[in-house]
Structure 1
Amino acid sequence: MKRTLTVTVLAAAMLTSCVSKKKYVALEEDYNNTRSNLQQSQMEKEQLEERLGAIEERVSDYNARINSLRDENNQMLEMNDLTAMSRANKEKMRQTLTKVDPAKLQGAQSLEDSINVAVAYNLEQEISGGASEDIQISVDKTVVMIDVSDQLLFRSGSHRVSRDAYPLLEQIAEVAKSEPTMEIMVEGHTDDQTFVESSYIQDNWELSVRRATSIVRLLQDRFDVDPAKLIAAGRSSYDPVADNETAENRAKNRRTRIVIIPNLDEFLAMLDSEQ
């Protein structure tokens, strides 16, 4: 009886040892897999940070170029008055300004202000027909900024461009192709809402860059804009036009800004006799 009991105890001990070893091996394998995944994630993070740094450097260079061109435009406008413009363009500008909302003309105190108003009006007619609430156009020292709401361009959380936006992008492409030296920067902007953990988009940085890149690819591939003239940039939620406290304000912040530097003669010539 004692011998039987001893054999039973030894067998149980050996079985327990075997099970413990299996658990240990399984845990060690899980640990190695987790460590490998962590290293892979770290590498991907470093690659994304490197790409983001390159994009930010390019955007910085482009902004410096914009500022340089603005300074040159300022010098030109300070040194020359209305007589520096061709007679045809002077007349076109006068005709354009007669069609502009008087409220917008009240703040035009100089030739530069008048040119900005005329350029903005011509672009609104050319690009949006002056009717879309999803498109806002402003001009600062002949640098044109077109803000397009995501309601027109994208579905929520997506970077796939809606076909409803194709006519607008086609018009912008025609503007881009009208002047060989013109460059266009597409900036993606978001609100400050975070993504769920299971989303395929990591964060608003990634979404804003993907959206800008999607538009740039369409301008290049579908509408034949020279890719050397295009820049894609993501600003995430860090350049808002309103606070993010309300749904209405968050909708304003979800936008794409298209920045173009026009040739003055080209834009003053956009208004035909029927407009």
Structure 2
Amino acid sequence: MKKSFTLIALSGIIMTSCVSKKKYVALEQELQDTRSTLQRTAVEKDELEDKFAKIEARVADYNAKINSLRDESNEKMVMVDDIVAISNNSKEKMRETLTKVDPNKLQNAKTLKDSMNLAVSHNLKSSLDDSLKDDEDISINIDNTVVMISISDKMLFKTASYRVSDKANGILQKLANVINSEPSIEVMVEGHTDPRTISNAVVQDNWDLSVKRATSIVRKLQNKYNVAPEKLIASGRSSYKPLVENSSDENMAINRRTKIVLLPNMDKFFAMLSAN
């Protein structure tokens, strides 16, 4: 009886030991499987994050392309009459400017270039009015599509001289600022005299004086105020283009003047638009 009990107890211990070992092996396998699953999950997570980052980058790239195409569309050059090209943005700016132009002058604009001339001329005159409006010896007008500035000779020169006086510096500086701000214009400087004949050691006649005065202004604009020389033209008209009859000293003083003509250069203007 005692032996039987001992055998039964021993068998129980052995069986318990076998079951515990099986559970241990099973648990260890389960742990290993869990670790493998976690490892795979971590790898998959990294792969998903990498894919997501790539998708985000592609979306950002597409958005940038969309914005770029939108900007290009606004700046795209549109052909008009197979000759003139102008961007949508520039057309909007031109329309805005033309709303401020005299309607009578707009009626004479037959082509887009005419309209562009008017727009540029209007902007130039506005800039000059702001800069020179306090100078009573200066008049600014638009004739067709050019801006004309007439400056009394007493503002620029001494009597019978073609040397530019110091008091002209302020006017020429303001004028140069406007010229330099507009790459699309050329500048013609015209000298005008009254009919009284002048002849001395340095000036041959009124033709000579009018040309030398214009050349002096051109040199000053180039050398002192950095106006590009290729934009400048010097000419003299002697006494043959008076504003009023030379019937009095006052009238002759009006006719003694320097006229500065600002000419919008449409070829340069449209080349500038294309470059931008």
For normalisation by structure 1, the TM-score amounts to: 0.54
Is the CA contact 1:179–1:263 (under 8 Å) kept in the aligned structure 2? no
Task: Count the aligned residue pairs.
Answer: 178
| Equivalences for residues 97-246 of structure 1 within 5 A | 108=105, 110=107, 112=109, 115=118, 118-119=122-123, 121-128=125-132, 130-195=133-198, 200-246=202-248
User: Shift of the alpha carbon at 1:212?
Assistant: 0.6
Letter matched to residue 228 of structure 1: E
Q: Which has the higher contact order (CA 8 A, sep 6+)?
A: 1
Q: State the distance in 1 between where 2:257 and 2:153 align.
A: 5
Q: 2:91 aligns with which of 79, 86, 100?
A: 86
| Equivalences for residues 48-67 of structure 1 within 5 A | none
User: Aligned in 2, Cα 1:107/1:248: closer, same or farther, shift over 3 Å?
Assistant: farther
Q: State the distance in 2 between where 1:205 and 1:170 align.
A: 27
| Equivalences for residues 20-59 of structure 1 within 5 A | none
Q: State the distance in 1 between where 2:124 and 2:223 align.
A: 27
For normalisation by structure 2, the TM-score amounts to: 0.54
Where does the alignment leave 5 or more consecutive residues of structure 1 unmatched?
A: 1-74, 98-104, 267-275
Letter matched to residue 232 of structure 2: L
Give aligned-pair identity as a percent: 44
User: Aligned in 2, Cα 1:179/1:253: closer, same or farther, shift over 3 Å?
Assistant: same
Partner of 2:273: none
Where does the alignment leave 5 or more consecutive residues of structure 2 unmatched?
A: 1-79, 270-276
User: Aligned in 2, Cα 1:84/1:226: closer, same or farther, shift over 3 Å?
Assistant: closer
SS in 1 for 2:147: strand
Q: State the distance in 2 between where 1:250 and 1:164 align.
A: 21
SS in 2 for 1:144: strand
Q: Deviations over 1:10-57 (max 9, x none)?
A: xxxxxxxxxxxxxxxxxxxxxxxxxxxxxxxxxxxxxxxxxxxxxxxx
Q: State the distance in 2 between where 1:93 and 1:253 align.
A: 33
Larger gyration radius, structure 1 or structure 2: 2
Is the CA contact 1:119–1:139 (under 8 Å) kept in the aligned structure 2? no
Is the CA contact 2:125–2:141 (under 8 Å) kept in the aligned structure 1? no
SS in 1 for 2:150: strand
Q: Deviations over 1:147-172 (max 9, x none)?
A: 11102111111111122221221222
SS in 1 for 2:209: helix
Q: State the distance in 1 between where 2:265 and 2:190 align.
A: 21
Instruction: Give the alignment's Cα RMSD to 1 decimal.
Output: 3.4
The structure in which a higher percent of residues are strand is: 2
Q: State the distance in 2 between where 1:84 and 1:111 align.
A: 24
Letter matched to residue 235 of structure 1: R
